[in-house]
Structure 1
Amino acid sequence: MINRVAFDLFGIEIYWYALIIVFGIVVAMWLSTRESIRVNLKPDDVSDFMLVGLPVAFIGARLYYVLFNIGPYLEEPMQIFNLRSGGLAIYGGLIAGGIWLYFFCQRNFISPWTFLDIATPNILLAQGIGRWGNFMNHEAYGGKTTRAFLESLYLPNFIIENMNIDGAYRQPTFLYESLWNFLGFIVLILLRKQKNLFKQGEIAIAYVIWYSFGRFWIEGMRTDSLYLVGDIRVSQVLSLVLFFGGWAVLIWRRKTNPNLKFYNRSYGPNESLI
């Protein structure tokens, strides 16, 4: 099994999880900054947002996890601050980041829809990268399976071996979600390049629909879900709300505001998709 510790720094263990998450964030920021220039936003808008948005998102991700897994933290409240023990929920981070985005855009006279349109495909990419942090951390896996099944997926041996957890092979749900997110990123940037396809805000809505659809099915395979009541998983409920809500908002905006501007970019010569 792969060691989740990348290296020691002055006696402090640095986990692969943290390094991979940071890498995903950096890549998403770089791509979002490039895209902001193409839609006539200031490049500094992305970094200015992230200066506060990143810690806010981490706090939201932690609070979401704690609230839906409150029992252990009532017994030991100080463990709430022990982030090294794990316990971040992406939906909580997205909700908290979205709240900060609203205030940030209001203060800087930026359309929240435009900001979301430049960022959400890259967020999907960062989420796909981040799932490999779960792989290194030996978490976010599914139920028991067999080595033969994993080999039938043509997975490299290092993944198969790392899916041998607590004496049994596990479904690599981290991988399923990572691949789903990577595919979504490719689809969105390919479609985003087409002129007069997406209207303002619809790339962000497409992200919500895409991610929530995949997350619903993959969440049902995981063994570490947060539960609302009984066997009802929090992330599956939220995924359903977001999936159908995304379609409802998309249809409602098209019907009530037919004059919405299209999301169009300006390219330099020989410029790549991203």
Structure 2
Amino acid sequence: MLLAFQFTSPGPVIFEIGPIAVRWYGFLIASAVLIGVTLSQYLAKRRNINPDLIGDVAIWVIISAIVGARIYYVLFQWREYAGHPGDMIAIWKGGIAIHGAIIGGTLAAAIFSRLNKISLWQLTDVFVPSLALGQAIGRWGNFFNSEAFGRPTDLPWKLFIPPSRRPPEYLQYDYFHPTFLYESLWNLLVFAGLIYLFFWGLRHRDRFKVGTLTLIYLIAYSLGRFWIEGLRTDSLMLGPLRIAQVVSLVGIMAGITGLIWLYRLKRPLPDVVSSKRPVNQDVEN
């Protein structure tokens, strides 16, 4: 069959030099960050925002996102880490949550925007395409770590998981849904859609309001994540609820509410700076 393919991870390590191991997970995250910052600086120029400002806020956002992603994951997996506190910072082994990264990064961007008196929505609008692309790249780290996979499947496309990485209740199964691939492909579609809307907005500035791209990202990403999360075997849980699905529903509702606020009520989104202030930071010619 044309769509028949099987994924098998070659392992989490790219190469080792003595005691130093270069891991796919870290390499992919670093690559996503580098590509994302470069792309955001390019998009910032097109919106007449100083790209140097993007470089400055990126440092804040990246550090806060990594810390937020790890704290979020550890809190919901506390039983696993309570007896091994040293592992709480072992991010190179995997174990971060994108929702925690978004929360941490957004808080940092809000503080930076307030201090530098620039619209938070202007910043997030040039960051969300890079975020979607970064998520598409980063999900492959789950593949190399043999983690974040779905339920057992006999579909033509499937992911082999070694016995040591399988949940106890699924030890008799070899193949699982490649949810890393589903989300990577979904995020690529979200990225393509955001880029199209970004440049459409440049041609229709009078009709495309600040913050629209961020709200569309919230809705689009959350729709895909809600469905994909239902397939996974390792969801972070709060009682019977899958946390990622709950947060995704909140994201969808927040995005829809924001679009109604912008286009139906015709009011600017609440911001960290006054709406009377100029939102653009001019690029030097």
Q: TM-score, normalised by structure 2?
A: 0.83
Q: Say if 1:10 and 1:56 are closer, same or farther in 2 by CA, change over 3 A.
A: farther
Unmatched runs of 5 consecutive residues or more in structure 1 = 152-159, 265-274
| Residue 146 of structure 2, aligned match among 138, 145, 156 | 138
- What is the aligned length? 252
Q: TM-score, normalised by structure 1?
A: 0.86
Q: CA deviation at 1:3?
A: 2.0
| Residue 122 of structure 1, aligned match among 120, 130, 141 | 130
The CA distance in 2 between the partners of 1:99 and 1:9, in whole Å, is 38
The CA distance in 1 between the partners of 2:222 and 2:73, in whole Å, is 18
Does 1:187 pair with 2:193? yes
Does 1:223 pair with 2:233? yes
Does 1:28 pair with 2:26? no
Aligned to 1:41: 49
Q: CA deviation at 1:10?
A: 4.3
The correspondence of residues 103-252 of structure 1 with structure 2, limited to 5 A, is: 103-146=111-154, 149-151=155-157, 160=158, 163-166=160-163, 168-194=174-200, 195-196=203-204, 197-230=207-240, 232-252=241-261
Structure 1 stretch 173-182 or stretch 16-25: which is displaced more?
Answer: 16-25
> Is contact 1:192-1:198 (8 Å) kept?
no
The CA distance in 1 between the partners of 2:27 and 2:70, in whole Å, is 18
Does 1:76 pair with 2:73? no
Unmatched runs of 5 consecutive residues or more in structure 2 = 1-8, 164-172, 270-274, 281-285
Q: What SS class does the counterpart of residue 21 from structure 2 fall into?
A: strand
- Which fold has the larger relative contact order, with Cα–Cα distance below 8 Å and residues 6 or more apart in sequence? 2
The CA distance in 1 between the partners of 2:160 and 2:131, in whole Å, is 26
Q: Say if 1:55 and 1:258 are closer, same or farther in 2 by CA, change over 3 A.
A: closer
Aligned to 2:166: none
Q: CA deviation at 1:258?
A: 4.8
Query: Which digits, 9 at most, give the CA deviation of each residue in 1:74-94, with x for residues without a partner?
Result: 223232122233210010010
| Residue 66 of structure 2, aligned match among 58, 67, 76 | 58
Q: What SS class does the counterpart of residue 82 from structure 2 fall into?
A: helix
> Is contact 2:26-2:92 (8 Å) kept?
no
Aligned to 1:253: 262
Amino acid paired to 1:163: F
Q: CA deviation at 1:108?
A: 1.4
Amino acid paired to 2:191: F
Q: What SS class does the counterpart of residue 156 from structure 2 fall into?
A: helix
